[in-house]
Chain A
């Protein structure tokens, strides 16, 4: 009576594990034109138009930290990364000023049909208004029914970024 489900599951796990693994994410895949445009907008609004972006380091969570430099002076930070959604992952980037206040947050690529609501610009704007750096704690960020995992994932990653940047 019980062998059928167990056999089916065993076969599926076997087939799944026998598939080869391939890394599918790479920062080169990001649309850097969008990021460039957002940095330009942010800096120009602050009367800056001549800048470079230099790589600082990467993290275990596959986030990549850069500093935004204008005339040899650090003006802010850019962090790109990928975070898990329900069954896939999404790419995002965030621009922060030297006080670690979020100036701009965007979802560059959202791959699956669940949780896509986090790419809503209006929803993302709330991150720029937050004062509590611990976003992972509930009620700091508005929940979205149907996108719980992606909301939690993004908040957790932003928390990690804020902690990491304190040490840079």
Chain B
């Protein structure tokens, strides 16, 4: 064993020398792009064509859009400390910061994170790079129930319990902005979506909390449970005199309590891909909130989808994939309402999507799908939509 250790020591010395020699070669850009150094650059993009199908003599123009272009910058200061930032350009003219946080690893089981972080809720808020999901557009459960891309500023811990094949994430962050400039942000159609603060001069009355546990113990299977609990924020609390009961009551009617729970599963076996998700959000104090802000926020929001995909080039000797898929999705931002709110069945929406995704290279995909959209309203007609998309990720 001593001889072994001596040999290893000599090897490591030699390897260090060899390593030092190799890293002196190559230009700066190649070193960045190969990821050999502390700085990493990446990105993803989604360019869409959407056409609503001509229906009831109503004509709709098609839409062509650079939906999002996201650039990633990451810097590893050392083995333990790194900074992650994603800058997003949406629809060519809107600029957002999607993530910007510092991560420090104390050990494998415990990382400390601080900054603008993705809320760990469901699949697509965390994994939303276009080639990672089927269909041109993201699932609408992950738009109207989970307001993807949902990110806020805070601190958190994350880590892996290897022996149990569990990954966890826990964070304290600012909540949604529910009321500002004497207007409510939440509504019946979009739920909580318009209340995201996105790290742009965010404000907070008190922190909210989010957590997620992911189990990956069986090959090909990933099971997740996500939870979020807290209250929305309100500008009415700023400069509030706590001795003034009228003002205090008025401010209290501008916030809602939010409890969101999600379960999701993904499974891959050979050419077969399965995934599903269920999300439910219970909102409290909606009666006061809706009266105060003249809104129609539901007191329960829920949605789910189930999807099956199959690689049609499975038998071919190629690294390309042609994934045919079908997805059934239902989401209702008025699953339940308070006594002062009319339950709008038009917010109970169902989508059936089928299509193809041609993965021409790892990280590059051409997509096509056809959607049949309907809602539970008695006056509703089904509408149909045709989508083409370019999806890349590098």
Contact B23 A53 (CB under 8 A): no
Cβ contact within 8 Å between B22 and A60: yes
Q: Which residues of the other chain, A, contact B22 by a CB distance below 8 angstroms?
A: 58, 60, 62
Q: Which of chain B's residues have a CB closer than 8 A to the CB of A113? A: 111, 158, 167, 169
* Residues from chain A with Cβ under 8 Å of B11 in the complex: 27, 53-55, 64, 66
Identify which of B2-10, B147-155, B243-251, B342-350 touches chain A. Answer: B2-10
Contact A144 B75 (CB under 8 A): no
Within 8 A of B (CB), among A1-34: 1-2, 4-5, 8-9, 12, 16-17, 19, 21-29, 32
A21 and B29 CA atoms in complex are apart in Å by 11
B99 to chain A, nearest CB (A): 11
Contact between B362 and A148 (Cβ–Cβ < 8 Å)? yes
Q: Are A58 and B19 in contact (CB under 8 A)?
A: yes
Q: How far is the CB of A78 from chain B (nearest CB, A)?
A: 10
Query: How far does the alpha carbon of A125 sit from the alpha carbon of B22 in the complex, in Å?
Result: 32
Q: Is the CB of B7 within 8 A of A23?
A: no
Beta-carbon contact of A142 and B84 below 8 Å: no
A2 to B319, CA, bound (A): 38
Indicate whether B18 reaches chain A with its CB closer than 8 angstroms. yes
* Residue in B closest to A20 when the chains form the complex, CB atoms: B38
Task: Classify chain A: how many residues form its interface, as a range.
Answer: 35 or more
- Count residues of chain B with CB under 8 A from any CB of chain A: 75
Bound-state CA distance A44–B289 (Å) is 70
A143 within 8 A of B: yes
A2-B92, A36-B4 known; A148-B14 Cβ under 8 A? no
Decide: B132 and A148 in contact? CB cutoff 8 A.
yes
- Measured in the bound complex, the distance between the Cα atoms of B266 and A32 in whole Å is 35
Give every chain B residue within 8 A of A103 (Cβ-Cβ): none
Report the nearest B residue to A82, measured CB to CB. Answer: B36
Taking a contact as CB atoms under 8 Å apart, the answer to whether A136 and B319 are in contact is yes
Query: Are B95 and A4 within 8 A (Cβ)?
Result: yes
Q: Is the CB of A143 within 8 A of B268?
A: yes
Query: What DSSP secondary structure best describes chain B's contact surface?
Result: mixed
Tell me, yes or no, whether A128 is within 8 Å of chain B by CB. no
Q: Are A23 and B19 in contact (CB under 8 A)?
A: yes
Contacts A19-B39, A22-B37; is A145 near B19 (CB within 8 Å)?
Answer: no
Residues of chain B with a CB closer than 8 A to A117's CB: 216, 222
* A-B contacts at CB below 8 angstroms, number: 167
Interface residues of B in 153-176 (CB under 8 A from A): 158, 160, 162, 165, 167, 169
| Whole-angstrom CA separation of A113 from B216 in the bound complex | 13
A119 at the interface (CB under 8 A from B): yes
Q: Give the distance to chain B from A30, nearest Cβ to Cβ, in Å.
A: 9
What is the CA–CA distance of A160 and B165 in the complex, to the nearest angstrom? Answer: 28
Q: Does B308 contact A (CB under 8 A)?
A: no
Distance of A139 Cα from B320 Cα, bound (Å): 11
Contacts of A22 on B, CB cut-off 8 Å?
A: 37-38, 78
- Complex: A122 Cα to B275 Cα, angstroms: 21
One of B39, B167, B273 near A21 (C-beta < 8 A): B39
Question: CA of A143 to CA of B131 in the docked complex: distance in angstroms?
Answer: 14
Residues of chain B within 8 A of A119, CB atoms compared? 160, 162
Query: Is B314 part of the binding interface, using a Cβ–Cβ cutoff of 8 Å?
Result: yes
Are the C-beta atoms of B167 and A116 separated by less than 8 Å?
A: yes
Q: Given A8-B95, A24-B79, A142-B219, A62 and B36 touching (CB < 8 A)? A: yes
Which A residues are CB-close (under 8 A) to B8?
32, 53
State how many angstroms separate the Cβ of B313 from the closest Cβ of chain A.
8
Q: Does B73 contact A (CB under 8 A)?
A: yes
B98 to chain A, nearest CB (A): 13
- Top 10 nearest A-B pairs (CB, nearest first) are A55-B11, A145-B266, A21-B37, A117-B216, A123-B219, A143-B268, A5-B89, A58-B18, A87-B74, A5-B95
* 9 residue pairs from A and B, CB less than 8 Å apart: A5-B92, A12-B85, A23-B36, A26-B16, A51-B4, A54-B11, A62-B36, A87-B35, A117-B222
| Partner-A contacts on B (CB < 8 A) | 3-4, 7-8, 10-12, 14-16, 18-19, 22-23, 28, 31-32, 34-42, 71-76, 78-79, 82, 84-85, 87, 89, 92-93, 95, 105, 111, 123, 127, 131-132, 158, 160, 162, 165, 167, 169, 216-220, 222, 266-271, 273, 275, 311, 314, 317, 319, 321, 362-363
4 additional A-B residue pairs with CB within 8 Å, beyond A119-B160, A145-B266: A4-B95, A12-B85, A16-B41, A111-B82
Residues of A that sit less than 8 Å from B by CB: 1-2, 4-5, 8-9, 12, 16-17, 19, 21-29, 32, 36, 51-55, 58, 60, 62, 64, 66, 84, 86-89, 110-114, 116-117, 119-120, 122-123, 126, 136-139, 142-146, 148-149, 152
